[in-house]
Chain A
Amino acid sequence: MNLLVNMNHTRQRYERICKAYAAHGLWAIGLKKWAKHAPLYRLRNNLAGWNRQRIQQAGAASVLNVQDISSIRQLIDQAQQQSTLPLSPALLDQWFFLAIGAVQVESQTASSKAWQLFDQSIHSQLEKPAFYRSLSFGLIVSLCVMWMAFAPVKQNQIQAELSPLESSVSQARGSADPVTLSLLNLAYQKMQNGSCQLPQAAMLPEVQRQAFIMFVTEGKVDTDQVEPLRQALGYVSCLYPQELMRPQGRDRLPRE
């Protein structure tokens, strides 16, 4: 039973790590993608802001000149360079002509509808086609199914059997690997069932001694003290009496 519990615990820890990595990975991918697209998504605001400034200086009735056209092209090229996305010249020209058209429409009608169409063109070109969106969704669903498949079957039973170490580790967001934690858990249970001695305790380095005392008195372990604790536990010597000889009232792990 102890082995089964430990296996489940280890599996849960692996699950948590996998989930954390997967979540971080998806987040990182999303962030990178957003960072690449952001300068282009901001293009509309930049161009509209530039046009407002132009109108303030030259008047609403002012017609675009060669210098203005050059400035619009420059803003688009800058956004493209900042985004580092490989965009075709035809696409950049598309936004260039649309931007000039939008500036003219805004100047003539004071309406921002043309900018919405400009924006629509950028979004439709940068966002993935429906096929890729479906593929991404399918991938996420598959990941969820895999997580569910590896989830413990008797969650309630396992929760009831959690040792203090387990509960403290559950809250931890540390970097200790699950195998080490599993070994610590095993050691804790062995110490619960046996008469253990630590003759060299006084001679342990301060870090190991602190970790060990917290472990045996409160059943807790700090995430940054896992390794010193593991080393300290190497010095523990336990004597395990036969079950019938166990003193009355002593805590034991339940057995099936």
Chain B
Amino acid sequence: MRLRTVAVLGLVAAATAAAVVRRRRRSGPPAPPAQLGRRDGAVQHLAADNRDLPALRARAEDLRAALETVL
């Protein structure tokens, strides 16, 4: 009985570990807070502490509100 319990717990632990590994592989690196792309292909990522980010987020929230308004 005790052996069966240990076996079940072992299987659960192995399945959980495998799921965590799969999730990490699938998710990849976290998305940057903001990304600015230029016509020549250059891409600029704004860091979380970038001083322009709050204003950009505020404008993006305004645009989101407008986009979510469906007439």
Q: Do A and B originate from a single complex?
A: no
> Interface on A for B, CB 8 Å cutoff?
none
